[in-house]
Structure 1
Amino acid sequence: MTSTSEFYVVREGDTLSKIAAKFHVPLAQIEEWNPQIKNPNIIQVGQQVRVSAPSQEPVDGDEPFPGKDFFQPSVSSPIIEVMGWRLIEEGCSAYPDDEPDFQWSQEDRESYALWQRKLGFGGSDADGTPGPESWKRLHVPALSR
């Protein structure tokens, strides 16, 4: 099993420079690991900041990212349902009666956007279309092959 990245939750008085110093990491590296932070001078209390390198491999047992083109209204797959259950577990549900299904839908997109915002992403990075980073951090269980 590969180790996952380490995150720090921003506290009152923190700056990215202080966080970088605390973890003995160059500020430029913190900025590179956190592309969701558009202005390094503006961070919010409670925001998660990556402070160690992301692993390049999925954690054993996680479903690999199927690619952005997978998430289309015409797609029906058990991967979408399993993703939905993980979003519900993370408190990111826009599903009626908390019941995801196999079909990619507007409810999936809205739920995933909630997840992206929970991770600290904003703007077009929180549009509800899964990307490799947010997918990896959701830890969608792998389906039996």
Structure 2
Amino acid sequence: MNATPDFYVVREGDSLSKIAAMFHVTLAQVRKWNPQIKNPNLIHPGQRVRVTEPTAVPVSDDEPFPGKDFFQSSVSSPIIEVMGWRLIEEGCSAYPDEPDLQWSEADRRSYAKWQEKLGFIGSDANGIPGRNSWEKLHVPALHMSE
């Protein structure tokens, strides 16, 4: 991958120092770019950490809804993994381990739990994201450069 994402999604065992090293920046830079992290020793899986200097161009905090056709077993995308971490944060995990890039039955079952948590029933809780439930999940935007 040639592009450097603006944000990194924390995984189990990560530390800010380790993340800084992965992106060839200093710990001081990572701390400056992430003032919301009050305790640098306390980060958790699924949390987003900015790993590049913020630009003056405003960007949305949430990943836009990619459309229903996006959610198929043939699709592999960082958006799916980040969505999975958000579902775990919301207590809606049906993952046997950790979410990954590939859309799977575990993603569908987890998303169905999210839809049910929102009060959807029947075919509205089928595990396929729709715009309404997606926007309520607040999947962090990846802002990956081309």
Structure 2 counterpart SS, 1:117 = helix
Matches within 5 A, 1:5-84: 60-84=60-84
List alignment gaps of at least 5 residues for structure 2: 1-58
Residues 21-69 of structure 1 deviation map (CA, whole Å, 9 limit, x = unaligned): xxxxxxxxxxxxxxxxxxxxxxxxxxxxxxxxxxxxxx93100000000
TM-score, length-scaled by structure 1? 0.58
- Distance (Å, rounded) in 1 between the aligned partners of 2:81 and 2:60: 20
Q: Match for 1:136: what amino acid?
A: E
Relative contact order, CA 8 A, sep 6+: which one is greater? 2
For 1:107, give the aligned amino acid: A
TM-superposed CA distance for 1:70, in Å, is 0.2
Structure 1 counterpart of 2:118, one-letter code: L
Deviation at 1:144, TM superposition (A): 1.9
CA distance, structure 2, for counterparts of residue 63 and residue 134 of structure 1: 13
In the aligned structure 2, how far is the partner of 1:84 from the partner of 1:107?
Answer: 9
Q: Cα distance, 1:114 vs. partner? A: 0.1
Q: Counterpart in 2 of 1:126?
A: 125
Q: How many residues align structurally? A: 86
How far the C-alpha of 1:139 sits from its partner, in A, is 0.1
1:55-91 deviation line (CA, Å, top 9, x unaligned): xxxx931000000000000000000000000000000
* Percent of aligned positions that are identical: 79
Question: What TM-score does the superposition give when structure 2 sets the normalisation length?
Answer: 0.58
Cα RMSD (Å): 1.1
Residue 18 of structure 1: aligned partner: none
Supply the AA of the counterpart residue of 1:73.
Answer: S
- Cα separation, 2, equivalents of 1:72 and 1:79: 13
Q: In the alignment, which residue of structure 2 is the partner of 1:92?
A: 92
